[in-house]
Chains A and B, each alone.
Chain A
Amino acid sequence: MNAPLRKSVRQKRGRGVAACWYGIARTATIDRAGAWAELDDGGTAKIITGVTEIGEGILTVLAQIAADELGIKPQDVTIGDNDTARSPEAAHAGATRQTYMIGNAVALACREARKRLIKELAQEWEISEDDIVCSNGMISTLDKTRCITISEAVELCKNRGVVPVGSGSFTANHTGLDPENGSGSPWQAYVYGAQVAEVEIDTETGEVQVLGVWAAHDVGRAVNPQGVEGQIEGGVVMAVGQTLMEDYKQVDGYPSTMNLAKYILPTSLDVPEVSSVIIEDPDPLSPLGVKGIGEPSMIPTAPAIINAIYDAVGVRIHSLPATPEKVLAALREKRDSADSVEKSAKSI
């Protein structure tokens, strides 16, 4: 959509850019996650892991990973999750760790289950395990001379007395920081991001509207690109809120913004159009190459906006949020100091 520039002198536009980096999974400590997999009857699969979906879409990501590893479809994967008494430890939803830690654990578990299945099949077919592949619901020899459905293969495997199950544990070998100088390897995978923001400022009220954000983020490998975009858009908008309006206030320790009338969140009319480009620089140290996006998506937004405000009107806001009051005060200050410079220039 084209947003024509307004002719008025009142509104001013500007752009800013900012970069960021982020580490994937728990910081400066070893991280681990576990998963179990079973190739089930009818060409379906069960994945059991203590993963905790908080809305980011990790269950779908795991289903996609399992589907590819097992040669079936995501909708044929049933995920048993989030129960400490019924599933192996996968630990917390945070640190941009779920796709990386649990995705890899699930891949490892699936590989083991698949290996079990293929081993039985190889014996049945009297060929090498390396000559068997699964994809698209089928399991076949490399030369495709023999081909049966995964459902049939599971039945065959079970008839031979074996349930095709597997387990996976994935480790991220992070080290602690030296207490004196902070040296250490806090993560094994890093991601990078950059965003451009365009703002329009109403110089009569100090209101800032963020009209566009262009975001580029390295995620290692995008398992579900639409999900990655969703994380970027959500992160950007959360950061827009923090940059322009959100402020949890307390007076002498007493909260004064204890409801959503006082604690202001961005509405549909406050959010920019967000365009994103996903960069894939796979992690060489893990089975899938995936990294993550949940948190870093919101890091560059605030400084990009603040830098854009400067580009538009020449004032630097140093404290968040950049409310209309702050922006207008900064503009006033700038005008006043320009005046005094003018005055002193005249008096010379």
Chain B
Amino acid sequence: MANFDIQMTVNGRQVSQSVSPHLRLLDFLREELHWTGSKEGCGAGECGSCSVFVDGVLMKSCLMPVAKAQDTIIETIEGLEEQGKLNVLQQAFQKTGASQCGYCIPGMMMAATAALRANPHAGREEIKERLGGNICRCTGYQKIFEATELARDVMNGTLPDDLLKQENDEGPFIGSNSFRIDTSSKVTGSLKYAGDMVMPQMLHMQVLRSPYPHAEILEINTSAAEAMAGVEAVVTCNDVPGIDGFGVFTDDQPVLARGKVRYVGEAIAAVAAEDLVTAKKALKKIKVRYQQLPVITKPEDAIKTGATVIHEDVPDNIVMHIPIRKGNVDKVMAESDHVIEDTYYTQPVEHAYLEPEAGLAYLDADGTLVIQSPSQNITHHRHKLAKILDLPINRVRMIMSAVGGGFGGKEDMHYQGIMALAVLKCRRPIRYVFTREESIIASAKRHPFIIKYQLGLSRDGHIQASRIHMLSDAGAYNCSSEGVMRKAAILAAGPYAIENLIVDAIGVYTNNTPSGAMRTFGAMQSQFATECHLDLCAEKLKMDPVELRLMNFLKEGDETHTRQKLGSVSMLEVFNSALELADWEAGISNSRGSTRSDLGNPGNRPPCTLGAREFPQETVSAGQSA
């Protein structure tokens, strides 16, 4: 590769360097200059975590070959502070609590800056349009809009800058909007996530992943990869010194595939090399021979008799079945005035935390294995790793690096074990950063559910009996499936008093991407069905869906579906508060059309039409040559 010389000004400093031509501006900033404030969320223009100014124009630096930035002026998040102090926009982000995990914030701050530079009086809708290329997975954007508006008004002098200060400096602090203690590190880009860290002698890791959903591994030959210059270690399941296997509830997943792969994207072998390019090249030299096996992709098929077995020790493919039984459903259902049935489906969902998985692993001075990664469960991961590595538990040290969003998806230890094996083999620090694509195929998803619902009601709308059957695709490994089934089952029937009930939650293995923990752990799937079904029942009974709920809510002293006696129950107060806040008009659904008086109330945004921006109507045009 022919290097070429590049010059530019980055955050006010002249830079001149010889670089490899394939680098993107983002790589140059992060890897060569160590301005790691700008992040890589997708590498494909889809998220904006890499947004920077190039000659005053906001651009996605992951889409820009570095040569395009020749002789330009670059501004990144690190350049926003003014004389070591947060600027107005940064303070506004702090004031409104606009950053959560912080991973989108560098790009988001630049986009908000661009919006206000383009139009210092931009309204909410224009601000939204101008932030349209920047994804935030945590905040729901609202506080980011508020921050941008606050900054706008303070900068324009229409609001006093006092408003940027913390509201309460006296205490008590519980109940007050204290500033987040991590905000300034997030709005300045100074916070280091695992992928931003470097160490002397650090190697780069890449992982070979299964191209097949289900296959026997006949042979893995790593010799050609090992022989490559710059390759320090190649690891496979044969390098596991202890008891292989991890998972949140049962340890059914090997650190690296052992004899078999069960989903596309499953890790098979890994390379640690001096640089990323060498590591990638070495992966291509690992030869694996597979014998493809029949594939199960539907949970209905997994439980058929004679179905292909995915885990030898689980012949029926059932990961977990949680039953709940109360009262006499058959009898009461038969006696109910109305029996209403339907089926509901939820899809697999990607967590899409903006920070793809990453880690830095090394040996401490005393030989303790250290892994810094955005792990949501360092306690558990330490236990698992000690067992896998056959080390005393205090010889494994897990440090959670700053987490750029987790939502449950970073509870699984799906790469820390691989890093540990490689570090122990070559005894040098190793960094591993996932691409977005790798993150999506390798990590667990929200469980998809098929929910069969049957509800028996009295004429006036009292729930008499409930039968809920849930079948869920757990994918190739257990991960959190056991817990997800449990929570889905316990909460399925909703906050309603029901004397007779049958609930089953069944999770089954398939050859799909594993399902795992995700925000609500199955409860949103099961309650989705319940809350939709109640509205359906209200429709059939020609009732106001609000009435139907009010009549059936759990109250203090009631028993839950698992026969737990409840203390105080705030359901009624909460429900009425939501209705009041929304100015809800009572009535039967889909009966009033646009005459519903509560429609269009304040609290709605205008529908999106993409027309918030005004354009100059000059006669002379820049690019025009007559």
Contact = CB atoms under 8 A, between A and B. Distances in A.
A6 to B, nearest CB: 7
A234 B144 CA distance: 11
A304 B578 CA distance: 12
B527 interface: yes
Contacts of B428: none
B590 A185 contact: no
Contact of B519 (A180, A198, A298, A302): A298
Contact of A271 (B142, B440, B610): B142
Contacts of A18: 527, 531
A2 B604 CA distance: 7
Nearest to B364: A85
B622 interface: no
Contacts of B563: 183-184
A328 B175 CA distance: 46
B487 interface: yes
A247 B445 CA distance: 10
B55 to A, nearest CB: 25
B406 to A, nearest CB: 4
Given A5-B600, A217-B574, A311-B590, A318 B528 contact: no
B524 A89 contact: no
Contacts of B84: none
Interface in A115-134: none
Contact of B347 (A28, A272, A300, A319): A319
A188 B101 CA distance: 29
Given A84-B379, A94-B411, A190-B566, A16 B602 contact: no
Contact of B577 (A95, A216, A254): A216
A161 interface: no
Interface string B564-583: 10111111011101110110
Interface in B171-225: 171-182, 212-214
B2 to A, nearest CB: 30
B352 to A, nearest CB: 6
Interface in B469-511: 483, 486-487, 489-491, 494-495, 503, 511
Interface in B513-565: 513, 517, 519-521, 523-524, 527-528, 530-532, 535-536, 539, 545-546, 549, 553-554, 561-564
A182 B325 contact: yes
A269 B570 CA distance: 34
B142 A274 contact: yes
B323 interface: yes
A257 B139 contact: no
Contact of A200 (B399, B574, B607): B607
Interface string A1-40: 1111110000111111111111100011000000000000
Given A75-B181, A318-B343, A19 B575 contact: yes
B344 A318 contact: yes
Contacts of A59: 180-182
B626 interface: no
Interface in B298-318: none
Contacts of A239: 524
A-B pairs, 5 with minimum CB distance: A253-B213, A55-B101, A182-B324, A303-B531, A237-B140
A66 B562 CA distance: 36
Nearest to A282: B568
Contacts of B400: 52-53, 81-83
B439 to A, nearest CB: 9
B408 interface: yes
A54 B561 contact: no
B594 interface: yes
B325 A299 contact: no
Given A16-B535, A209-B608, A85 B397 contact: yes
A294 B44 contact: no
Given A218-B570, A319-B346, A198 B604 contact: yes
B467 interface: no
Contact of A15 (B214, B405, B440, B582): B582
Nearest to A83: B399
Contacts of A12: 593-594
Contacts of A143: none
Interface string B311-345: 00000000000111110000000000000001111
Nearest to A75: B181
A307 B532 contact: yes
Contacts of A255: 264-265, 440-441, 513
A252 B535 contact: no
A3 B605 CA distance: 6
Interface stretch (A152-160, A258-266, A335-343): A258-266
Given A5-B599, A13-B600, A83-B397, A68 B404 contact: no
Contacts of A247: 347-349
A258 B437 contact: yes
B9 interface: no
8 contacts: A17-B549, A21-B495, A84-B378, A184-B562, A216-B575, A253-B511, A299-B520, A312-B590
A60 interface: yes
A196 B582 contact: yes
B603 A212 contact: yes
Nearest to A251: B297
Given A4-B600, A21-B491, A225-B175, 15 more contacts: A12-B594, A22-B523, A27-B490, A54-B101, A60-B179, A68-B172, A135-B171, A183-B564, A198-B601, A239-B524, A249-B348, A273-B142, A273-B605, A295-B519, A316-B532
A20 B322 CA distance: 20
A115 to B, nearest CB: 19
A226 B174 contact: no
Contacts of B85: none
B100 interface: yes
Contact of B503 (A92, A182, A237): A182
Contacts of A324: none
A250 B297 contact: yes
